[in-house]
Chains A and B, each alone.
Chain A
């Protein structure tokens, strides 16, 4: 009887947590602080505004950044390659000469946008330290046009992407549509 009582008293000891902790696979996912993205977005907007002093880009949307778990960080924005002359009650018709001039100015500004985007992509890849090296950093810019414009030779969007690790080597992929 005494032995039985002793066993009953000792039994909860076996019911306690094991002495050695069990090693379980980690399910923690990498996250990017909102503050990092906010700073990157502001930086992008500032650099895009200041990029082409002679014929500045017309920002038609603020930069937005987000992190896609398992893929990487994506930053997008929208702009026009120049400040396009609008239709107003005092300027109802765009002449073919004006349209040609606008087209020419946009063609001249396009290389500047590509250079600026490469710089922005590098900045983002270096700033997003919490994104794993193997994941992508994508910078996408939608280029907007007026309906009367000649868009020959001009892209609708430019996407630059590459892994964070590639940022050091400058290995970047560019897609234009």
Chain B
């Protein structure tokens, strides 16, 4: 407790008049306790003034404030997106709208103009004939090209088969020749073992 005639905190914060300040100063010089209190307050003051100056917030808000509530649009979107029934309804509605729009704006099918003039009819018939001709020519060309390709493939396949066949025949002929040679040798062995070698005086060997 301070025994000073005025509050020492007011003195430190310079909120006393000059006469009051002089009285406090006189008291501090004579009172050991108030002197120590005054020293502590001075230290506290120095520490306070050494801190960075912070701006005092203008307004304090709470979570329950309306400002933190989602907007009606966001709430509506969340409710719509979370509901399967609403989504299904919206899809069906969009489909219906699309069908209606298509029925309204689709192009009309071309119909022969019964009121067209004879010149127009002629022009149309001529161009149709030309188109037909062009289509015919294109089809013939495509068919001819396809046939040529098929023919080439066929000829290639035939040539390959012939080549393969020739190879197999040549191989078979070689094998058959070898088999025949062995058979001939075998027969000769049997014959000469049985009848001996042909002799010149018997007309066999010249």
Contacts and interface: CB of A to CB of B under 8 A. Distances in A.
Interface string B180-206: 001101101100110000000000000
Contact of B192 (A58, A62, A88): A62
A158 to B, nearest CB: 18
Contacts of B185: 60-61, 78, 144
A78 B186 CA distance: 10
Interface stretch (A11-19, A20-28, A79-87, A133-141): A79-87
Chain A binding surface SS class: loop
Candidate in B176, B179, B183 with the most chain A CB atoms within 10 angstroms: B179
Contacts of B31: none
A61 B176 contact: no
A146 B175 contact: yes
Q: Size range of the interface on B?
A: 10 to 19
Q: Size range of the interface on A?
A: 10 to 19
Given A59-B186, A60-B186, A80-B182, A87 B192 contact: no
17 contacts: A45-B189, A58-B186, A60-B185, A60-B189, A61-B188, A84-B182, A86-B179, A86-B183, A87-B172, A87-B175, A87-B178, A87-B179, A92-B172, A146-B175, A147-B174, A147-B178, A148-B175
Given A60-B185, A94-B175, A144-B185, 19 more contacts: A45-B189, A45-B193, A58-B182, A58-B186, A60-B186, A60-B189, A61-B185, A62-B188, A62-B189, A62-B193, A86-B179, A86-B182, A87-B172, A87-B175, A88-B179, A146-B179, A146-B182, A147-B174, A147-B178
